[in-house]
Structure 1
Amino acid sequence: MDDAAHAAISHSADQENAQFLFLAEVIPQLVWITDPQGYHIYFNQHWIDFTGYDVEASKGTEMWNNLLHPDDRQRARDRWSHSLQTGDFYEIEYRFLSKQGDYRWFLGQALPQRDASGTIVRWFGTCTDIQEQKEKEEQLRQREQELTTLANAIPQMAWMVEPSGYIFWYNERWYEYTGTTLEQMQGWGWQAAMHPNYVEGITERLNRAFETEEPWQDTYPIRSKDGEYRWFLSRAVPLRDENGKVLRWFGTNTDITDQKQLQEQLERSYSDLEAKITFRTLELEHQVQELRQRLGEA
């Protein structure tokens, strides 16, 4: 290869390097580069602005780890060592210390760059701020914890469902009544506790509610751990985020066996009374006819 070709290749490499450095400064992530052994040789301006440390102060194999939250350091070090040894894609969530002294959550990712022979020549990495996402996850976790505490305190059986229809949680009342476990009931396992004559209809109507995202209500018998079926009024409502997206469904089963039995007794009593009235009416009509016949003969 002549000097002109070498010069052209060198010029092309310089252009690519300049383009990368330009992009690294434009994107909002913290960007870094290491050699094949994990020695950090480059950080972009966002890193400097966030940490307060310039490139020279940040170079090396451990400086970045020292800025992590103490609870994240060993986990991050182990994950990074694994990627360096295997060449696997690096991905981890951890908390970095800012120059203001607070920690923020970041998603760290890195990919190796290889030469023509497949040898790793450097690693390119980014750190994406996910603090807002983590805060929303924590708010949701606290909300679900509060809901769980409340659901365990109410007398009804209660359950929570993924938007897909997969039930992932039941309260203590459910287990006390059915004598089942989460492993048996999660997903669509609840069908085993329903009266077989009602399973198909319940499933169809519940799936329709999940598809339309409309509140659901149904009445059906559920088997107890003693084998007895009792009637329950079941309701489920969607829990949404601030944008209206369904995050979870919350459902309850209220025992209405006594009310249903009372209703059936009242219906039977009404039917009996109606029958008696009908019979008495016919009897009176018969007596009236007999009276008319007698008056006619007289």
Structure 2
Amino acid sequence: MDYKLIFEHSPEAMVLLDPDLKILGANKRYLEVTMRQVDEIVGKHFLLEAFPEPNVPYEQNPVLHSIQEAIAKGQRVYLDVIRYAISRPDGSGYDERYWEASHTPILNEKGEVEYILQETKDVTEREETKHALRDIEQKFSFMADAMPHLVDADDASGRSTYFNKQWENYTGIPVERLLAGDWKEAIHPDDLVAATKAWEKSLETGEPSQLEIRIRDKDGDYRWHLNRYLPMRNEDGTIKMWLGSCSDIHDVKNLVQELLSSNEQMSELADQVQMAYRKAENERETLERLIMQAPTFFGILKGPEHRYELVNPKYQDLFPHVELIGKTVAEALPEIADQGYIDVLDNVYRTGETFEAKEIIVKLANAEGKLEDNYLTFIFQPLYDEHNQITGILIAGFNVTDKYQLKKKLQELGVAVDDV
């Protein structure tokens, strides 16, 4: 049997050393991974001449220690993955690589070490991939911990695998207990059943879920959160994991309830709506529900051109024959422009000064295009972004035409009527 031929063509990278660490031979695979020719390394000291590590003193070289251990024990020793630089053949510098290796002493008939066989493998690609994945995981963990939301992850079967630091900071429950299922202790008892059913339905159907629940903080107070669960899928469509998030909507929810229960003071209502608009931009559906259900007419204009972004049904009732959304006031309502209100809007947008009108006549076109007198009480109020820059104008008010006409009739009958 030609053992030399087997050694030469082995798929494993192997180099043969004598006890003084002189290179006696290397197979083809070893020469490929080390980018060497056999005559460049044979006869040279393995670590001092052929493959010196520039970043580590010789006495501290882990390869040297592994070989010495194998010689001392007289048996194979495995070397953990190490980062080891080898010089480029053209002398242009070093390549930093990751290697796995084993060192096997070959004994003669007297039991003495005659050769050392190193089997090595370049695992650079694998290790760099592991490092890249670890880096991604660290970045994800950092971002998740830095987010103001409560973020968690579950495997495809629904088993909790991750809770961000905000969960622990908010609830006071350590992450280890959260992973063990103690997150249920933080959910309001009246909401836990519905939350559990929604989660079980998502696991069964693979569909996302969304639910408003109350979560207890570390001081024992409950706050409303919007809880969402989304599935992450593999290329074949199977669910790989679930990502959950809980966003604090307590202030917005309370504000909605307050605004829906009180509409007596229009200006106060407008201020609160503006506050909700600025604070709850990311909870737009909640804000729109508030505006749409309000007994006051509301409209939101964006930008210096005063383009309609949102109107509620009460506002649309003033102009039933016109599609407002997406159009500027001048485009949609030329009769308004003719009465000078564009200039008023421009001034509010430019100066930030609120404009208020009480029972003022505004001529509005009906479906036939005929102008009709309407008595309106309204305000134009600037909207600000987080940088205190004006981004649009809030319109809020009441159509008091019927009340105004009734007041006039009573006055004509001699009935004293106080102005409202």
Point out where structure 1 has 5 or more consecutive residues left out of the alignment.
1-11, 270-298
1:177 is displaced (CA, Å) by 0.8
1:159 is displaced (CA, Å) by 3.7
Counterpart contact for 1:202–1:218, Cα < 8 Å: no
Q: Which residue of 2 aligns with 1:255?
A: 248
Q: 1 or 2, which has the higher strand percentage? A: 2
Q: Which residue of 2 aligns with 1:56?
A: 42
Q: Which residue of 1 aligns with 2:102?
A: 110
User: 3-state SS of the aligned residue for 2:173?
Assistant: coil
Flag the 1:228–1:75 CA change in 2: closer, same or farther, 3 A: farther
Q: Which residue of 2 aligns with 1:179?
A: 172
1:68 is displaced (CA, Å) by 6.5
Q: Which residue of 1 aligns with 2:9?
A: 22
User: 3-state SS of the aligned residue for 1:31?
Assistant: strand
1:228 is displaced (CA, Å) by 2.9
Query: In structure 1, how many angstroms separate the alpha carbons of the residues matched to 2:67 and 2:200?
Result: 46
Counterpart contact for 1:34–1:124, Cα < 8 Å: yes
- In structure 1, give the amino acid aligned to 2:83: Y
Matched, 1:101 2:93: yes
Flag the 1:106–1:221 CA change in 2: closer, same or farther, 3 A: same
Query: In structure 2, how many angstroms separate the alpha carbons of the residues matched to 1:125 and 1:243?
Result: 43
Q: Which residue of 2 aligns with 1:157?
A: 150
User: 3-state SS of the aligned residue for 1:136?
Assistant: helix
For each residue in 1:235-264, what CA deviation from the matched residue of structure 2 results, as whole angstroms up to 9, or x when unmatched? 345668999998876542212345566788
Query: In structure 2, how many angstroms separate the alpha carbons of the residues matched to 1:247 and 1:120?
Result: 55
Query: In structure 2, how many angstroms separate the alpha carbons of the residues matched to 1:85 and 1:200?
Result: 67
Q: Which residue of 2 aligns with 1:170?
A: 164
* Equivalent residue pairs, number: 249
Q: Which has the higher contact order (CA 8 A, sep 6+)?
A: 1
Return the match for 2:221 from 225, 228, 239.
228
Matched, 1:92 2:81: yes
TM-score by length of 1: 0.57
Q: 1 or 2, which has the higher helix percentage? A: 1
Query: In structure 1, how many angstroms separate the alpha carbons of the residues matched to 2:207 and 2:112?
Result: 54
- In structure 1, give the amino acid aligned to 2:3: E
Aligned-residue CA RMSD (Å):
5.0
1:226 is displaced (CA, Å) by 1.5
Q: Which residue of 2 aligns with 1:33?
A: 16
- In structure 2, give the amino acid aligned to 1:33: L
Query: In structure 2, how many angstroms separate the alpha carbons of the residues matched to 1:190 and 1:149?
Result: 21
Counterpart contact for 2:83–2:98, Cα < 8 Å: yes
Counterpart contact for 1:108–1:125, Cα < 8 Å: no
Structure-to-structure mapping, 1:274-293, within 5 angstroms: none
Counterpart contact for 1:97–1:104, Cα < 8 Å: yes
Counterpart contact for 1:151–1:158, Cα < 8 Å: yes
| Percent identity over paired residues | 22
Query: In structure 1, how many angstroms separate the alpha carbons of the residues matched to 2:206 and 2:70?
Result: 43
Query: In structure 2, how many angstroms separate the alpha carbons of the residues matched to 1:149 and 1:242?
Result: 26
Query: In structure 2, how many angstroms separate the alpha carbons of the residues matched to 1:204 and 1:71?
Result: 61
1:19 is displaced (CA, Å) by 1.5
User: 3-state SS of the aligned residue for 2:42?
Assistant: helix
Q: Which residue of 1 aligns with 2:388?
A: none
- In structure 1, give the amino acid aligned to 2:84: R
Counterpart contact for 1:233–1:255, Cα < 8 Å: yes
Flag the 1:176–1:89 CA change in 2: closer, same or farther, 3 A: same
TM-score by length of 2: 0.43
User: 3-state SS of the aligned residue for 1:254?
Assistant: strand
1:191 is displaced (CA, Å) by 4.6
- In structure 1, give the amino acid aligned to 2:248: D
Q: Which residue of 2 aligns with 1:66?
A: 52
Flag the 1:70–1:39 CA change in 2: closer, same or farther, 3 A: same
